[in-house]
Structure 1
């Protein structure tokens, strides 16, 4: 069976978890779609602008190469080989060098300009062995271009190269007279691209149709992947491509024979969506923890009083009706606790009323028994008085009558139930004196009383039935005189009244039967001599409680001892 706490915890957890998970998934996928669309829109515009700026940069450098190509000073210098050191030739050389210096200074340090004569001589500032080797290796490529510009990524020298063949533009445009090489700083391209790089994972590349130029911000990317991106026939198209198990969002912009491509890992674009999702997940976990705490708190507030009421109901089933459930809340649980307390009070009231009625009934019965003096005793006593009066005119008769009157006087006690210990002892003393006269020479007795408890109150008529029981069932059944000893003493918190005789006693089986008769509380007045003992035993328990009563000890042929233990109050 599931407890209320478990059911509440499960209900509230589902109540919080399910809507949040559904909302989180919906927000995540909606945000993914939105981020991708916004990024595509933004990046499409960005790559278009970047392609335009790269086109302007390319046009500027190609325009520079055309101006150098058609510059008269360059044409004059290349058209006439340096065969003789004439004044005219020296002037051409001087003009040519001045022209190179002007073009170089005009374009700052981003462009290194070199001119190659037909005989292979290279002119230009900053010529290094690496540059010379590269230029020599590209003369044939420039010749095949037949005057058209050729772009190349000169990776071995760390530059971008723009070179072309210079033809004679005055006499024969098809006649080559030299070659022009522009070596460009790659950092200028990086600066242009950097102005359009917003995301850290965004990469760019540009390549030409001839395959000689290939520039990329990611050196590790393959040329095949770049051409896959640019192979889409549409302009400014965006797609998703896979490379090495990772998905990329790609863009391509084609301008003339150059293609600009861009790509970024899809996870970089969707990173905000994932961060938002994990944030929502964290909030969900926090809410679940909070809900568990609140469920434990609320269930404790609800189930604690309910469990207490459950325990009290169980006690009712076990017969315990006196209890109080604390009423600390003004709600349904508090009303239930109040109703339980009211039910307990009513049950206790009914039980108490029933007990009072039962006690009243027993008191009436016992009072009736108190006033019913044993007819045999009265008959025998009166018979003795009559016989003595006729046979003797002895003062003993006067004593018997005196003892009898005092006995009645103490026994009746003006209808009061309690007498002092001293009066109880005097009452049994008068009874014993009468019996001593009756059984002259057969009954001997003595009484010992602790005077410190003489004024302690007790219920009356306890010792006389015990003494009568000792005489009738103990001493009279033996063939020789018997003794009765009464001892009244004080113990810590108790008063002990003990009647001991040396009569015939009881065997173990009979003693156990009498003890069981006392415990059972049978009212069978025909049942042997146990009736007088039961009467005393029930009166004691009715007045003082079940802890008190008679205690019996007996041995066959040795006598019987009956003890009464009462509270010392």
Structure 2
């Protein structure tokens, strides 16, 4: 059965396949890098151990050189041969002074002694007695020193044998003392060196947390070992002769199952073999750190490669995404112009150019339609302006004639002037928007004319905050509402009627109110106020017309709301957005 994995997005496919390719490459690289680094780690560890061992050997040889120089200084003292081989000199005061000077200056020298074949000897200050029970002649280091004659010989570590009742561990430097009379070696200079000096030199370096250094002499016997007592007692085992005979590193598993790497270095000067011991478990710890580091680096590389794949795929698929988004807009009926940048002659670029051409054509048609709609709005505005009540005009002219006939020319002139301003503002401005101040002036002129016609029948007041005076409002909104208040609210009142126009800013909106204390409306009339009426006696502009225009220019969130009580009056509230005239980009 064949299973195919498919993803909905081209970009997802690109990211997945690119990431898999990078993962495979990094895995192969990681495998070979770890193998190479592991081998290199072992080589570097061995090289580092050898350098450290060479440093220990260098320090030991320098120390032995210094002790040889001291022994040469002692050998140059003629009092030694005089004391050992001249029976006439029994006093060792001169030797005592020389030995004491050296012992006080060098705390690492434990004993200084001269021994003659004739049985004479002098140890340290002359107060120490030779340990006869030690049988020096039977000791291996003593026999070797005798055989070496005048050559300097360094023994392996041992318990000192010279002084009675003292059992410290020492390393002995010895050389033969020739008798000037016979020319033969008939005495021996012995310098016991403190074993702790060798211990300090070996512990001055670090071979990890568990590694250590030990020293073998030319016979493969231990000169120094940090666990020397355990080895000599047989509790612990150590590679001795195998390492002493080897010139290269050895790997060995001890009795505890731990793997060790032995790195030997043979000193030509001392004849000793300095051995450095590393535990492979510590190298494995370094190997684990190395693997962790490599794995972390590989993980970061994969993350970076994945990020690169995401960015690269985003760049490649961006035109497709843009085209898809633009098509979705067109699909839901949003025909705004969409222009997608294209480069190249590939299939996506060709498709994008075709889509751009299509949206440009749609944009042209939409602009043409928008222009036609703007012209239609202007025609509607002109039609609205032409709907100003002709009866109002005829009645006003009759009032002017009556004032002239009664020789009240001042009132006639005033009414004519106000009427002229009213019509100039009503039909002389073809803009869709005017300022609130202009709309109020137009309405004020209308009310002044009505007030002059009806004398004490009508009173009005305008209380609009200065803050909203420069706000833009659709033309011919307030006057029709005031006209409705007059003819449907105040006309049939026997006493004086009042109209109040107020306005203020409320956040990002402007609230204007036209209030009257006229007849009010019944609930049935209030519920049908925004319905189109064809049997109106009054030829004014209907509430529905005003509401429709406000909704058309501002949106459904703005417009009129009416509150009325029969016998108490009516309040019409106008809500529009706060926009200044200079912020509007309207078509005039």
TM-score range, shorter chain: 0.3 to 0.5
Normalising by structure 2, what TM-score?
A: 0.40
Q: Which has the higher helix share?
A: 1
Larger radius of gyration: 1
TM-score, normalising length: structure 1: 0.41
